[in-house]
Amino acid sequence: MSSNKPIVGVSACVVGQQVRFDTGHKRSFFVDQQLRELVDFKPVCPEMGSGMPTPRPTIRLRWVGEQIRLMDDKNHIDHTDSMNRFNEQILPSLSHLSGFVVCAKSPSCGMERVKVVQEDGKGAERNGRGLFTQALMERYPLLPVEEDGRLNDLNLRENFVLRVMVYHEAQTLIAEPTQHGLLAFHRKHKLLLLAHNEPLYRQLGPLVGSEFDGTIEQKVDTYLKGMMKALAKPATRRGHTNVLQHIQGYFKKDIDAGEKQHLQDTILAYRAGRLPLMAPLAVVEHILARYPKPYIEQQSYLHPTPEQLALRCNL
Ligand code: SF4
């Protein structure tokens, strides 16, 4: 979608750096091999960055009074303040990132369901978030963030790469917000938005075209909050079907009854789970080659992620 490569932050152990408490790593094949072809990485190890050595004692999140603290309980050391200082120091320098892959379950890097031990150490709930990732997501609420383990799910993988690519492009708009730029951005991503979230599609379209009670920066910010919220969840078969039928409408005067039926049957077979998404998309591409429609051809929906990952083949 954009000419320069996105830069994606990554927990350093996920790309093979031996920074874990036991001097090991947690290399992810997908991240370190496949995603690396599409993006440049900015590896970060918050524990090493906040001054911990390797090897080091294990640490965990634990309730202390009203607060969740980052504790080395064996040695009675509280690492919360040093981690907070590291976060304050590094986060301002990460505004150029277009995404972040964090290591699951870590009390520093985990994004969800991180273990939080009760104050007396006798029980735990899996409802926490690592302190670094918590601060990262608070400072950059639009930034696509995903865990290494969740990227083994092909649907979540496709959706993360898609969000990185869209956000990377949005960063140009954020840097130079103009009404013309916003219109062009929306026009290109309209069907993607529709596939992911029809109510937001209906809200954001009028927002783009109408007078806004605020600056263009605020308008772009409001729009992008909606767009990234819409993309946060993968599109469903129903959402894709909606878009495919919308595209079908553009050809109604071009294709004959037999082709119409073939496209309709392929879309419905996809919706019923009997065909992958690539099947109706291939029929659409075939028709587009004969009956060019610039508006449809320019839609990011047709090519939301780089083809070398072949992400949509699995959906
Ligand atoms: Fe470092 Fe985060 Fe990996 Fe722990 S999970 S070793 S803090 S990068």
d(CA 201, CA 178): 20
Q: In what order do the strands lie in the sheet with 7-11?
A: 40-44, 7-11, 99-102, 145-147
- What confidence score (pLDDT) does residue 307 get? 72
Q: State the DSSP H helix or E strand holding residue 7, giving kind and residue range, or none if neither.
A: strand 7-11
Strand partners, 125: 116
pLDDT digits (tens, 9 = 90+) for 184-221: 999 999 999 999 999 999 999 999 999 999 999 999 99
Strand partners, 124: 117
- C-alpha 162 – ligand 1 centre gap (Å): 25
Reported confidence tier of residue 306, pLDDT bands at 50, 70, 90: confident
- What confidence score (pLDDT) does residue 218 get? 97
- What confidence score (pLDDT) does residue 70 get? 98
- C-alpha 59 – ligand 1 centre gap (Å): 11
- C-alpha 211 – ligand 1 centre gap (Å): 46
d(CA 232, CA 156): 10
Residue 20 predicted with pLDDT over 80: yes
- What confidence score (pLDDT) does residue 310 get? 63
Q: Probe ligand 1: pick from 44, 106, 134, max atoms within 8 Å of CB? A: 106
- C-alpha 130 – ligand 1 centre gap (Å): 10
- What confidence score (pLDDT) does residue 7 get? 98
pLDDT digits (tens, 9 = 90+) for 24-65: 999 999 999 999 999 999 999 999 999 999 999 999 999 999
pLDDT digits (tens, 9 = 90+) for 235-275: 999 999 999 999 999 999 999 999 999 999 999 999 999 99
Give Cα separations from 287 to 56, 106, 258, 271, 280 (angstroms).
60, 49, 13, 20, 11
> Which residue, 250, 251, 271, 285, is CA-closest to 315?
271
Average pLDDT over residues 262-291: 96
Reported confidence tier of residue 154, pLDDT bands at 50, 70, 90: very high
Instruction: Examine residue 107 and say whether the peptide bond preceding it is cis (omega within 30 degrees of 0).
Output: no
pLDDT digits (tens, 9 = 90+) for 73-113: 999 999 999 999 999 999 999 999 999 999 999 999 999 99
The atom of ligand 1 lying closest to the CA of 43 is 8
Residue 2 predicted with pLDDT over 70: no
Q: Probe ligand 1: pick from 109, 145, 148, max atoms within 8 Å of CB? A: 109
Size of the chain, expressed as the number of residues it contains = 315
Instruction: Report the chain's terminal Cα–Cα distance, integer Å.
Output: 21
Question: Are 301 and 192 a contacting pair, CB within 8 Å?
Answer: yes
- C-alpha 158 – ligand 1 centre gap (Å): 24
User: What value, to the nearest 5°, has the Cα angle with vertex 114 and ends 77 and 102?
Assistant: 95
